[in-house]
């Protein structure tokens, strides 16, 4: 039951980010909001790299892989939507390939990240918080770039009373139904 909840939250955050990405023009993906800020492409590239590293052979190898070039993930980049979504998908596929077979009994197993031992549940919570943080950045930047053209991914301003009369989409499986299947 716990692992199902964690999987559901990962899917919900992926769907939120992909719904935000789908609203953007291609040029918006690589537009940095300031001189020292990361573009959506940089944030998404980094998150995908992190997920690939952490979840490739996660039960048997250190989560910080020697092939990962973390610093390069933060380099300003001009990248096509197709290339960005390919990188994005590879990260999420590594995650789900690793966690889909897990059961609640696996949560007490130990994994290693940067040489430090973590229980699987600790590592998953840490990773989920990291993903939520960066998805929040993606959604915030996308909303800012879209301005008045933004389509809300949750309850729109002024919609709380109506929503509270008939709440739905609060659970990860309901959110996925509303946002649609993964598009990357």
Residue closest to 6 by CA, chosen among 78, 81, 102 = 102
Per-residue pLDDT reduced to its tens digit, 17-64: 999 999 999 999 999 999 999 999 999 999 999 999 999 999 999 999
Rounded Cα distance between 47 and 39, Å, is 13
Q: What is the DSSP string of 16-43?
A: HHHHHHHTS-HHHHT--SSTT---HHHH
CB atoms within 10 A of CB 89: 16
Asked if 54 and 96 count as a contact pair (C-beta separation under 8 A), the reply is no
Is pLDDT of 184 > 50? no
Residue 147 is given by DSSP the state: G
CB atoms within 10 A of CB 150: 15
Q: What residues are paired with 110 via a beta bridge?
A: 119
Asked if 11 and 180 count as a contact pair (C-beta separation under 8 A), the reply is no
Per-residue pLDDT reduced to its tens digit, 111-126: 999 999 999 999 999 9
Rounded Cα distance between 135 and 126, Å, is 14
Asked if 179 and 15 count as a contact pair (C-beta separation under 8 A), the reply is yes
Rounded Cα distance between 104 and 94, Å, is 19
Instruction: Give the CA angle between residues 144, 12, 164 to the nearest 5°.
Output: 80
Does the pTM exceed 0.85?
yes
pLDDT attached to residue 170: 64
Per-residue pLDDT reduced to its tens digit, 59-95: 999 999 999 999 999 999 999 999 999 999 999 999 9
- Cα dihedral across residues 15, 53, 132, 34: positive or negative: negative
């Amino acid at each position: 039951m716990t692992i199902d909840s964690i999987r559901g939250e990962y899917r919900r955050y992926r769907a939120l980010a992909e719904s935000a990405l789908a609203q953007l023009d291609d040029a918006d993906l690589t537009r940095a909001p300031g001189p020292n800020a990361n573009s959506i492409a940089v944030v998404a590239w980094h998150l995908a790299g992190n997920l690939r590293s952490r979840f490739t052979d996660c039960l048997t190898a250190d989560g910080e892989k020697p092939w990962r070039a973390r610093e390069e993930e933060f380099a300003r980049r001009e990248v096509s939507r197709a290339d960005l979504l390919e990188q994005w998908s590879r990260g999420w596929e590594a995650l789900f390939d690793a966690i889909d077979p897990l059961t609640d009994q696996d949560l007490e197993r130990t994994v290693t990240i940067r040489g430090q031992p973590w229980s699987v549940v600790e590592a998953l919570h840490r990773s989920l918080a990291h993903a939520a943080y960066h998805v929040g950045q993606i959604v915030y930047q996308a909303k800012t770039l879209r301005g008045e053209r933004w389509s809300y991914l949750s309850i729109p301003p002024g919609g709380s009373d109506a929503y509270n009369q008939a709440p739905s989409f609060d659970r990860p499986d309901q959110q996925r139904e509303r946002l649609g299947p993964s598009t990357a």
